[in-house]
Structure 1
Amino acid sequence: MTSGSAMPAINGLLETALYVDDLERSVRFYQQIFGFRTFEEGSSESPAKEPDPRFCPLQIPGRQVLLLFRKGEFTTTSVLPGGTIPPHDGRGTLHLAFAVNADDLERWREWLSSHGVQVEGETTWPRGGVSLYFRDPDGHLLELATPGLWPIY
């Protein structure tokens, strides 16, 4: 970077990826627990199209995307009509946190329980936020966090 030039802006985090063993099972989990829709289901912004059996993008509120990739499917360069995507894959359990309203925390506890999802941990943070922790079908640690977790939230 040359002296005096300003760093270009970042507008936010657009995509987050998880690598899963059973794509259909994971898509069902995220749809049932969180109500996330696939882009293939169609919307005014994105007409329905044939799904790719190797991955599924899920719409998260706030103009964000959760990409569920079948493990081992993207270990070589993907060639698309518009260019290429370098290889990527992941192993092990990862962690994601979803922002929720503090007033909804008890409803989330009940919702998770009614869907057979066990809360593994709960933390009250020094700023007053509360986090509930549980796992998806692949063992990824998911968190529901209320405001007060971070200075920016």
Structure 2
Amino acid sequence: MTAPSLDGILETAVYVDDMDAAHGFYEGVLGLTRMVAGDRLFAYDVGPAQTLLVFYRGHTGEDVATPGGIVPGHDSVGHSHFAFRVDAGKLQAWRDHFARCDVEIVSEVIWPAGGTSLYFNDPDGNVLELASAPLWPNFT
């Protein structure tokens, strides 16, 4: 049985304990534009048809009724991980920017395929990554 094709990942989620600190980081340090600001969710524009959802940990476990239907409850415990795609030519600018913003690069990896990843943490300890191609066979 062959599954219908997917068009990509529309949303990536991270859970945080301090929404104000998260907003300061995601907008102030990473430069993302906040599209939605609510009591339990911030949504940021990451690029064409790509959204970062920042959820208030412990406040999203219950189903939420909307005029269009029920959004199932969800939550996460512990530190999560996701990566932003960046051009290799911008990695040094990001290193310099992080240094100015006192954001520690906790690890830098050069992958066998030749791409580079910079790992850092958000204020809640979630592991974020800036990754340049080539890395995965579908990311060249």
TM-score range, shorter chain: over 0.9
Instruction: Specify the SS of the correspondent of 2:105.
Output: coil
Distance 2:105 2:95 in 1: 8
Distance 1:131 1:82 in 2: 40
When the two structures are aligned, how many residues end up with a matched partner? Answer: 139
Alignment of 1:26-45 (within 5 A): 26-40=22-36
Distance 1:24 1:138 in 2: 11
| Root mean square deviation, CA, Å | 1.2
Sequence identity (%): 40
Q: Does 1:97 align with 2:83?
A: yes
Q: 2:46 aligns with which of 60, 71, 75?
A: 60
Instruction: Specify the SS of the correspondent of 1:126.
Output: coil
Name the residue aligned to 1:78: 64
Unaligned runs of 5+ in 1: 41-50
Letter in 1 for 2:82: L
Distance 1:83 1:23 in 2: 26
Q: Please say which of residues 102-111 and 6-15 is displaced more in the overlay.
A: 6-15
Distance 1:7 1:105 in 2: 37
Partner deviation per Cα, 1:9-30 (whole Å, 9 max, x = no partner): 2111001111100112101201
Partner deviation per Cα, 1:29-77 (whole Å, 9 max, x = no partner): 011222111114xxxxxxxxxx321111111113101000101111211
Q: 2:21 aligns with which of 25, 30, 42?
A: 25
- CA shift, 1:150, in A, is 1.1
The structure where strand makes up a greater share of residues is 2
Q: Does 1:87 align with 2:73?
A: yes
Distance 2:4 2:132 in 1: 31
Q: 2:115 aligns with which of 114, 125, 129?
A: 129
Unaligned runs of 5+ in 2: none
Distance 1:35 1:138 in 2: 18
Instruction: Specify the SS of the correspondent of 1:131.
Output: strand
Alignment of 1:111-130 (within 5 A): 111-130=97-116
